[in-house]
Structure 1
Amino acid sequence: MIKAVIFDLDGTLLDRDLSLESFIRDQYDRLDVLHFIDKDEYVARFIQLDNKGYMWKDIVYASLIEEYQIWNISADELLADYIENFKNHCIPFPHLTELLEHIISQKIKLGMITNGFSDFQLGNVESLGIRHYFEFIMVSELEGIRKPDVSIFKRALERLEIEACEAIYVGDHPVNDVMASRRVGMKGIWKCNRYDKADFEHDGIIYDLMDLKHYL
């Protein structure tokens, strides 16, 4: 019997690709110092350097400044703007609230484990308007451990006071989310993305968030 569902955030509940592009375009529009660069070129290069979120943004901005010879604003200023304003561009995947409401209605508890910086990630959760659904939100910076370290999954199970076999973990990253949660004994469900192939062990695949209903 499933007693809890634990989610990843970026690429699972938050459509990070759409959110990031929305932010970059807005940042470009707001900052005149960038306008000598073609907008679409700037957006595409940022996304390329970002590497699906796995490249630190200070390095992304430093690279952009060097490549395009941007001298009227610093990488630190651009980074500060990103940290402050990204939350204003958070776009959920379709049916997010509908799914969370359904899970709660089944008396199943909700948790979240996400890598990243605490203030930034919690700000994004608040922006999505979903904080109140979750028993807890674990951010790697606060916890002192990052996925795929199995300790963070074990800690979540302890907080929920359930066994691993009673929990589902849903995430978009094959290693950090699915394979790591399965090593603890949880059911690892993959939120399909456009970057990876399903050539790894998993307990199910969802393409739309509402597909998760079939695994509850």
Structure 2
Amino acid sequence: MNQGSGEWMIEPMERFTGIKAIFFDAGNTIIFPNYRLIQRVLSSYGVGVTAEELFRLDCEQRDQYNRLAAAGEETSHLWEHYWVTLLRRAGMARDIQTEVIKELTVRSEQGALWLQVLDGTFETLDALRVSGRTLGVVSNSEGRLESFLEHVGLRPYFAFVLDSAIVGIDKPDPGIFHMALERAEVHPHEALFVGDNYPIDILGARRVGIAGVLFNPAGHEGVFDCPVIDRLSALEELLN
């Protein structure tokens, strides 16, 4: 794998064969926050930031979030830290952050927050499903993930959805990956995991023998010992 000018290049030998199932993380992999909604909420509190700037700030704080997740921080605490950090980086005063987080939480519970799907996602999932592979979602979430996927039209593409709050196991615990293998009825070497969190998704999957592909849509620089893609459609290239 080579990296030049911040752009990842996948070497020809880095192809996967015999893959019968592909498991996806959810947040910031197949579904993203509605940054325009967040921008409007922040604007109502006097914070001037664009949706594009929020996306950039969100991606920049991902490493810190990943480190906390890898250290075993509870999902609910992670999301609180996620919002506090994003609001602070967006320039929001500390004394109103709690109120704004409450409003964003309500919007999330109403299904209005996780609404953004990147271009090419539906087409890629359709092609992978038509190829005969079993697709599943394995995500650290708070119990509402399946309804979010239904809302944006993604749910029909997946044979199953494992929401950590419902199954009682968080990534990177091997148990949730074994559960995915059982649902898909495949062996570890026949599965692939796609996610944006290296320690949680890639290393977690690797511990049970599942290969991983890191999804890096913002193109952040870094050195990883796995294929890195900035668009989901690149999966088809890795599998062909």
Quick check: TM above 0.5? yes
Aligned counterpart for 1:174 among listed residues 183, 198, 201: 198
TM-score, structure 2 length as denominator?
Answer: 0.70
2-structure distance, mates of 1:93, 1:151: 30
1:22–1:89 Cα contact (<8 Å) kept? no
2-structure distance, mates of 1:110, 1:138: 12
Corresponding residue number in structure 2 for 1:205: 228
Corresponding residue number in structure 2 for 1:188: 212
Aligned counterpart for 2:139 among listed residues 114, 134, 143: 114
Residue identity (%):
26
Aligned counterpart for 2:26 among listed residues 2, 9, 15: 9
Deviation per CA, 1:81-114: give whole Å up to 9, x if none. Answer: 2323453561112211111111111111110101
Corresponding residue number in structure 1 for 2:39: 25
1:88–1:127 Cα contact (<8 Å) kept? no
Instruction: Give the partner amino acid of 1:134.
Output: F
* 5+ residue gaps, structure 1: none
Q: Would you say how many aligned residue pairs link Structure 1 and Structure 2?
A: 200
Deviation at 1:28, TM superposition (A): 3.9
Corresponding residue number in structure 2 for 1:214: 237
Deviation at 1:170, TM superposition (A): 0.6
1-structure distance, mates of 2:175, 2:140: 13
2-structure distance, mates of 1:197, 1:103: 28
Deviation per CA, 1:118-144: give whole Å up to 9, x if none. Answer: 11x223212320101111000111111
Instruction: Give the partner amino acid of 1:10.
Output: G
Instruction: Give the partner amino acid of 1:200.
Output: F
Partner of 1:126, secondary structure, is helix
Superposed, which structure 2 residues align to 1:2-151 within 5 Å?
2-14=19-31, 16=32, 19-28=33-42, 34=45, 37-40=46-49, 51-52=61-62, 54=65, 55-57=78-80, 60=83, 67=93, 69-70=95-96, 74=99, 77-85=102-110, 87=112, 90-119=115-144, 121-151=145-175
2-structure distance, mates of 1:60, 1:173: 17
Deviation per CA, 1:137-179: give whole Å up to 9, x if none. Answer: 0011111111111211111101111100001111111111112
2:104–2:113 Cα contact (<8 Å) kept? no
1:179–1:201 Cα contact (<8 Å) kept? no
2-structure distance, mates of 1:193, 1:76: 25
Deviation per CA, 1:169-213: give whole Å up to 9, x if none. Answer: 1111111111211221112111124475442322x2222111101
Cα separation, partners in 2 of 1:165 and 1:172, compared to 1, 3 Å? same
1:150–1:183 Cα contact (<8 Å) kept? yes
Q: RMSD value over aligned CA atoms?
A: 3.1
**Larger RCO of the pair (alpha carbons < 8 Å, separation 6+):** 2
